Amino acid sequence: MAIHPPQSRVWWKEPIAKAELVWIGVAFLWGLIMFFMMIYWHIYGQQNLSTQVGRIDPAVFEQRTNDFAEKFKVREEGDTGIPVVKPPAGGDAYMLARTYEWWPVLELEKGKSYKLHISSLDLQHGFSLQPINMNIQVHPGLEHVVTITPTEAGIYGVVCNEYCGLGHHVMTGRIYVVDSGQGG
């Protein structure tokens, strides 16, 4: 029961005020503009990733990532023992998510393109590559393949931006980008 009930119980038969019609028109027009801007930004703004996504058994992806890390390992990361892996330019690079870890650490060359394969072994994780703000939702059983071409040398951080449990805040990884011909 309303505090102040309407005079007429059949409110939808009441005429719409001119100001209300103007705002409905403005909201509709704004919705259309935003819809077409999404298409525009996808094509011309280069803001959305065009990834290939396919189904893969998590155990198969883990084996591929282990084989990749073993084949292209150049060193180990500090005292953690995590391998730093340097794939050949133009080749495939693998990175997997598992509870509270991005594995392995990658070393890529500036200006070279790579096909980055990403998947999860256990839970849904978020792949956020900073400072370039690349974001992908990573699920077990799905493999994302995205072509990346680093344009600046430096250390890029990989952060899980999808809550995955109590150790979520420590789930970080790294990608080193070095000038062509140099190692980090």
Give me the residue spans of the domains in the chain: 14-45, 52-178
Q: Rounded to an integer, what distance in angstroms lies between the CA atom of residue 127 and that of residue 119?
A: 9
Place of tokens 């995205």: 146
Instruction: Quote the pLDDT of residue 181.
Output: 59
> Is 119 within 8 Å of 140 (Cβ atoms)?
yes
Helices (H), the chain: 18-40, 58-72
Instruction: Quote the pLDDT of residue 100.
Output: 93
Strands 154-159 and 172-178: antiparallel
Q: Rounded to an integer, what distance in angstroms lies between the CA atom of residue 168 and that of residue 148?
A: 25
In tens, the pLDDT along 148-161 reads: 999 999 999 999 99
pTM of the model: 0.74
Question: 77: left (phi > 0), else alpha (psi -120 to 50), else beta?
Answer: beta
pLDDT at residue 126 above 70? Answer: yes
pLDDT at residue 184 above 60? Answer: no
- Count of C-beta atoms within a 10 Å radius of residue 184: 17
Phi then psi for 83, rounded to 5 degrees?
A: -70, 145
Instruction: Quote the pLDDT of residue 104.
Output: 97
The separation between CA 63 and the C-alpha centre of its own chain, rounded to angstroms, equals: 22
Concatenated DSSP letters for 73-110?
EEEEETTTTEEEE-PPTTSEEEEEEETTEEESEEEEET
Q: What integer is the mean pLDDT of 137-149?
A: 94
In tens, the pLDDT along 9-48 reads: 777 777 888 999 999 999 999 999 999 998 888 777 765 5
pLDDT at residue 146 above 60? Answer: yes
Domain 52-178, CATH: 2.60.40.420
pLDDT at residue 133 above 80? Answer: no
Instruction: Quote the pLDDT of residue 21.
Output: 93
> Is 89 within 8 Å of 113 (Cβ atoms)?
yes
Q: Which amino acid, 80?
A: T
Q: Is 181 helix (H, G, I), strand (E, B) or coil?
A: coil
